[in-house]
Amino acid sequence: MNYFKRSVFALSLLAAGTVFAGEPVSISIDTSKPGPVINKDIYGQFAEHLGSGIYGGLWVGPNSKIPNTKGWRNDVVGALKAMHVPLVRWPGGCFADEYHWKDGIGARDKRPVKVNTNWGGVEESNAVGTHEFFDLVEMLGADAYVNGNLGTGSAQEMSEWIEYMTSDSKSTLANLRRKNGRDKPFKVAYFAIGNEAWGCGGNMTPEHYADLYRNVETFLRAPAPYRPKMIASGGNDNDTSWSDVLSKQLKRQTDGISFHYYTIPTGKWEVKGAATGFAEQEWISTLANTLRMDEHMKRNSAAMDQHDPDKKLGLFVDEWGTWYDVEKGTNAGFLFQQNTLRDALVAALNFNIFHAHADRVRMTNIAQMVNVLQAMIITDKDKMLLTPTYHAFEMYAPFQNATVLPLALNNNRQYALGGASIPEISATAARASDGKVYLALVNTNPREPADVAITVPGQSVKAVRGRVLTAGAMDAHNTFAAPQAVKPAPFSATAVDGKVSVQIPAKAVVVVAVE
Ligand code: AHR
């Protein structure tokens, strides 16, 4: 039992000297067999013209009393910067397939006002357009993912948008961009042709979409240094036919195929389940449903492997996250929901899954960045708070561009309730760009802590040091009255004989550097 002795165990939330009951979970990290790089864009965000996702939550306009830079809120941008946002997808979603980019350039007071037919039927002022979006991503130090309009748009409209954004020539469109204040081309990292073509993007079959995609992509001629990675809009949920058909028919014309999967507690769109005040049965069903992402990644990768065995195409999960019943008293078209500790675990479980598929999954976007669905930040007029999901993202920041390290996880228990059963511990390890090995652990059990013994064969581990995110209640969340109710706390333990033993609290996310 030497294995379980610990010299120092400094965890602010637990008393030191805890005695393990039974065999601990053992994690052995293999540093000799590095895997693929975890593309930083796996930590991408999504900001759609939807509810207060942009207007109010991020954009207040340059004349607002709320402190801003070029119209973007300083408080929100500052917090997102601190979270290391690598990529932002814009302008939708369903909104993208009705968005006409020329409505969003030039003098803001002259831009046409439209109706946001997808989201609440509210007026869309077009105050945020191409230049404003690039102001935002450049302030964040992030890359841009622009989603083109295949629904009500055309090959010509998308081709002109690409030219407007990326041409360094003296063409009329490039000069129009200059007249509107931007001399050098914008950097468009990704460009998607349509969104959810199987649904709000046009109710198509994959075969019909593949033909349209081929046609449009032919005319999106960006100069080589500015050419975005092209994205074909793929399938969702259990449907792998889009990954199959598109990887077969488009493999020479696209860089990746998108996929959408939302975590719904009940698994039913009609009554999804509440964001707060839920029973433990909905805790486990939410986590069980989110873990299905792994099966989706496996099945879609397998479909793509048939036509693209060298994995040249990426599987881009450009919408994922929790989707609950909207908060009572809010506009149902605005998709506003509270964000709790449960959401932080959902985020962390998905990160661990994406890392495990990093050879194929090279970009994802959580839906959505501010005030919509599983948000990082919630605002109310001039106030702002960070959600538990925000903390999961910033805790996992060292994994951006890190190299996956395989790990062996043994003695893992199942956490079970009613008919559901899921593994108690989920883990991922990687060597980051700072040279350190990082380990992330999730304890899905909301009642029991889990004892974990960590080793790195061939290396004498000295300690693990990092942070833990947990709270007393499954639905613990931050409010404007108590904005720090859920936030990370220090977590560390020192090793005995080159091995380190830790206790992961119930319902917790832990990220540590293994020293
Ligand atoms: O993220 C909200 C919506 O969900 C997006 O607009 C759409 O693509 C998806 O159905």
311 CB contacts (<8 Å, ≥6 apart)?
304, 305, 359, 360
Task: Report the nearest-CA residue for atom 7 of ligand 1.
Answer: 93
Cα(490)–Cα(487) distance, rounded to whole angstroms? Answer: 10
Q: Which ligand 1 atom is nearest residue 119's CA?
A: 6
The pLDDT tens digits of the residues spanning 436-488 come to 999 999 999 999 999 999 999 999 999 999 999 999 999 999 999 999 999 99
Is the backbone of residue 368 left (phi > 0), alpha (psi -120 to 50) or beta? beta
For ligand 1, the distance from its centroid to the CA atom of residue 499, given in whole angstroms, is 46
Q: What is the pLDDT of residue 2?
A: 34
Q: Which ligand 1 atom is nearest residue 262's CA?
A: 4
Pairs from 15-21 (Cβ < 8 Å, separation ≥ 24): 18/449, 18/451, 18/503, 20/451, 20/501, 20/503, 21/451
For ligand 1, the distance from its centroid to the CA atom of residue 404, given in whole angstroms, is 30
The pLDDT tens digits of the residues spanning 24-42 come to 999 999 999 999 999 999 9
Task: Report the nearest-CA residue for atom 3 of ligand 1.
Answer: 93
User: 3-class SS at 347?
Assistant: helix
Which helix (DSSP H) or strand (DSSP E) does residue 44 occupy? strand 44-46
Percent helix, strand and coil across the chain, each to the nearest 5: 30, 30, 45
Query: Ligand 1 within 6 A of 94 CB?
Result: yes
Cα(419)–Cα(34) distance, rounded to whole angstroms? Answer: 37
For ligand 1, the distance from its centroid to the CA atom of residue 136, given in whole angstroms, is 21
44 CB contacts (<8 Å, ≥6 apart)?
85, 86, 87, 88, 89, 145, 318, 363, 364, 365, 366
Q: What is the pLDDT of residue 13?
A: 35
Structure confidence at residue 21 as a pLDDT band (50, 70, 90): low
Cβ count within 10 A of residue 21: 9
Query: Ligand 1 within 6 A of 48 CB?
Result: yes
Q: Give the residue, 15 or 64, on which the prediction is more confident.
A: 64
Whether 147 and 95 have beta carbons less than 8 Å apart is answered as: no
Cβ count within 10 A of residue 403: 18
Cα(441)–Cα(447) distance, rounded to whole angstroms? Answer: 16
- Mean pLDDT, residues 354-371: 98
The percentage of residues in the chain with a pLDDT greater than 90, rounded to a whole number, is 94
- Mean pLDDT, residues 412-431: 97
- Mean pLDDT, residues 75-83: 98
Query: Beta strand 68-69 with 44-46: parallel, antiparallel or unpaired?
Result: unpaired
Burial class (CB in 10 A: 0-12, 13-18, 19+), 215: exposed
For ligand 1, the distance from its centroid to the CA atom of residue 277, given in whole angstroms, is 25
For ligand 1, the distance from its centroid to the CA atom of residue 94, given in whole angstroms, is 6
Query: Ligand 1 within 6 A of 321 CB?
Result: no
Task: Report the nearest-CA residue for atom 2 of ligand 1.
Answer: 93
Query: Ligand 1 within 6 A of 93 CB?
Result: yes
For ligand 1, the distance from its centroid to the CA atom of residue 93, given in whole angstroms, is 5
Query: Ligand 1 within 6 A of 98 CB?
Result: no
Whether 287 and 348 have beta carbons less than 8 Å apart is answered as: no
Whether 156 has a pLDDT exceeding 80, the answer reads yes
Average predicted confidence (pLDDT) for the chain: 95
The pLDDT tens digits of the residues spanning 188-229 come to 999 999 999 999 999 999 999 999 999 999 999 999 999 999
Query: Ligand 1 within 6 A of 196 CB?
Result: yes
Q: Measured between alpha carbons, how far is residue 347 from residues 94, 287, 369 in Å?
A: 23, 10, 13
- Mean pLDDT, residues 301-329: 97
Query: Ligand 1 within 6 A of 195 CB?
Result: yes
Pocket test for ligand 1, best of 119, 260, 261, 374 (most atoms within 8 A of CB): 260
Whether 366 has a pLDDT exceeding 60, the answer reads yes
Residue of 281, 381, 332, 352 lying closest to 55 (CA atoms): 381
The pLDDT tens digits of the residues spanning 227-285 come to 999 999 999 999 999 999 999 999 989 999 999 999 999 999 999 999 999 999 999 99
Task: Report the nearest-CA residue for atom 1 of ligand 1.
Answer: 367
Structure confidence at residue 147 as a pLDDT band (50, 70, 90): very high
Q: Any idea which residues carry the catalytic annotation?
A: 196, 319
pTM exceeds 0.85: yes
Tokens for 396?
A: 């996992």
